[in-house]
Amino acid sequence: MSTSIPADPTPKFAEYADGARLVSTDWVAEHAGDPGLVIVESDEDVLLYETGHIPGAVKVDWHTELNDSVTRDYVDGEGFAALMSAKGISREDTIVVYGDKSNWWAAYALWVFTLFGHEDVRLMDGGRSKWEGEGREMTTEKPQPQPTEYPVIDRDDSVIRAFLPDVRDSLGDLSLIDVRSPEEYSGERTHMPAYPEEGALRGGHIPGAKSMPWGKAANEDGTFKSAAELRALYTDEAGLGQSDEVIAYCRIGERSSHTWFVLKHLLGYSDVRNYDGSWTEWGNVVGVPIVTGSAPGEVPGR
């Protein structure tokens, strides 16, 4: 990355493939307010930012700001440029995203920003709860950013995003990783434990997909596990090995953004895509195969 904002020299990060994608809470405390650095909070709960946030941080909401409800897709280039301008973000700025639930939604925002090729987007390791738990300063004062001239950049869906035909046509040829809970994977349920039912007609997983619930990548305090621990989980246990191509999915593509970040930036897999249609799409489409039970299962002949 080529911006003037320095990387965080924390030794843990140096072990990752691209450790410059992470910064610590210490680093944020030290650099907040630096010109060229914008801190973004992105949470599951739309009201959490309003209860208090890192001083100077702006909010980006996944439901109301990153999605286009009419097209059932992400915003387009013009929509993204308008959003970035409203948040006071310039194309060459470094963005640090943090959020609730082990940075689950922060990773989703980072992934969407990456669809638009924003170069330098990082996560704050441990997210909101770590910052809060350390007793660091929080404020309810909202910044009033100056609009920027963010360019209109077409969203590039070809590199880090997968669609249903990509998955269907390559079953058995690439590594699929299912990051939902074991109960969703086996088909016992179609939604997360203690979460709302979100309308999939069938329970189970995509044939051949390996199970690795997303939350295993995080420690109790929401920080990412070490590079060695992550390799043990994904490369060995989930059997990704040296896979050239990996596609991650979950239910609507948000949990798998977290895993996408781990595989792409922390472990350095070269071709990782997020299938954001995920189970709400695959589970409902006529004529696509599924497997139930706790084993990956056989890929049906085509």
Partner 1 sequence: MAETDNAPKTDDLPNALAEIVTDFAETPADDRLQLLLELATDLPDLPEKYADHPELLEPVPECQSPIFLVTEVDGAEVGDRSIVHLHFSAPPEAPTTRGFAGILHEGLDGATAEVILGIPADLPLRLSMSEIVSPLRLRGMSGMLSRIQRQVSERIGKITAE
- Which residues are tagged catalytic? 250
Number of residues in contact with partner 1 under rule CB under 8 A: 16
Q: Is the dihedral of CA 101, 22, 264, 116 positive or negative?
A: positive
Cβ–Cβ < 8 Å for 182, 211: yes
Tell me whether strands 58-59 and 210-211 are parallel, antiparallel or unpaired.
unpaired
Q: How far is the CB of 63 from partner 1 (least distance, A)?
A: 4
Q: Is 48 among the residues that bind partner 1 (CB under 8 A)?
A: yes
- Per CB under 8 A, does 63 bind partner 1? yes
Supply the Cα-derived Rg of the chain in whole angstroms: 19
Query: What length does the chain have?
Result: 302
Q: Is 77 exposed, middle or buried (0-12, 13-18, 19+ CB in 10 A)?
A: middle
CA distance 273 to 250: 12
Shortest spacing between CB 300 and partner 1, in angstroms: 33
To partner 1, the closest distance from the beta carbon of 96 in angstroms equals: 21
- Say if CB 136 and CB 27 are below 8 A apart: no
Q: Which is nearer to partner 1, 47 or 201 (CB)?
A: 47
Piece of the chain touching partner 1 by CB under 8 A; list 15-23, 43-51, 260-268, 271-279: 43-51
Q: Which of 277, 296 has the CB closer to partner 1?
A: 277
**Residue of 51, 144, 146, 242 interacting with partner 1 (CB under 8 A):** 51
Within 182-201, the residues that bind partner 1 by CB under 8 A are: 194-198
Q: Which residues bind partner 1 (CB under 8 A)?
A: 44-48, 50-51, 63-64, 100, 129, 194-198
